Amino acid sequence: MCPPTHFDVVYAINPWMDLAIPVDQQVAMQQWEALKNTYETHGHNVFTIDGEPGLPDMIYAANGGLVINGKALAPRFTYPEREAEGAAFGRWFEKAARAGLFGDGGEYLGQADEFNEGEGDLLLVGNRLLCGTGFRTSRAAHQELAERFGLAEAGIEIESLELVDPRFYHLDTALTVLDDGAATGEVMIAYFPAAFSPASQARLAELYPSAILADESDAAAFGLNAVSDGRRVYLNSAATSMMTKLRAHGFEPIGLEMSEILKGGGSVKCCSLVLRPAIS
């Protein structure tokens, strides 16, 4: 996670950003700290990267890269406003790998060559990496990921999904992983079908017939920009309809006030990058 020390809306690169609406940075910090403290209260380890001046979107650490089996790849951002974030996250990954944070055999792979906005568009679900495209991460990046991470050798398949609604410009705004199947053997996701092309909708329905289908109000409240530990689901407290759906499927939703952080176009998941250490 990255504290919102420099968070602000000073440019508009997604439909949620409005230069006419100021950010209360004190409230944003309180909301971020509440999220961090909630993770820690429930037993999750949280590591932080310091934000850098001039990079107001570093708070959205999910875009900061991808870590699978102790291998970390830094992103390459589409918009020039965020370009320098790639190197910033890369420096953190390099130090973390040297310090053994990613376990024995952990390594920093460098920065992506193709446009790739990290876990914003790349969600690992069991042995499948769901890869969004359409607005930020390029299709060419999907092949690069397969090669750089050696996904085929690791038994992980790539599934490309096309996003078509500019409000849901990253995959993690339209789809959330609820259970990766590691403990239960059953994978569960939730997603908003209309955010995807017809072909991608059909593929998701084929792969995940038991998925929770969100409606437009769920997605617009950033109810899918959530983090799940397999039981608890951390999400924006305004996503009340999504919470009802989660409870009906046996999950425990934990709502968090994210009003200031939402002004940049992100919520709980956008603030959270999962670090997956090497499997010994």
- Per-residue pLDDT of 25-60, as tens digits, reads 999 999 999 999 999 999 999 999 999 999 999 999
CB 102, CB 86: distance < 8 Å: no
State yes or no: pLDDT of 115 exceeds 90: yes
Query: What letter represents residue 57's amino acid?
Result: D
- Whether the CB-CB separation of 120 and 171 falls below 8 Å is answered with yes
- Cite the active site residues: 170, 270
Residues 117 and 131: their CA atoms lie apart, in Å, by 10
Would you put residue 70 in left (φ > 0), alpha (ψ -120 to 50) or beta? left
Structure-block tokens of residue 185: 């053997």
Q: Which domains does the chain have, with CATH numbers?
A: 25-271 (3.75.10.10)
pLDDT reported for residue 72: 98
- At 178-202, the pLDDT tens digits run 998 877 778 999 999 999 999 999 9
In the three-class reduction of DSSP (H, G, I as helix; E, B as strand; rest coil), residue 106 is classed as coil
At residue 10, the pLDDT reads 98
236's enclosing H/E stretch is strand 232-236
Q: What per-residue confidence (pLDDT) applies to 86?
A: 98
* CA separation for the pair 117, 120 (Å, rounded): 6
> How large is the C-alpha radius of gyration of the chain?
17
Structure confidence by residue, pLDDT tens digits, 117-162: 999 999 999 999 999 999 999 999 999 999 999 999 999 999 999 9
Whole-model pTM?
Answer: 0.97
The two three-digit tokens of residue 186, written as one number? 């059953």
- pLDDT at 280 > cutoff 70: no
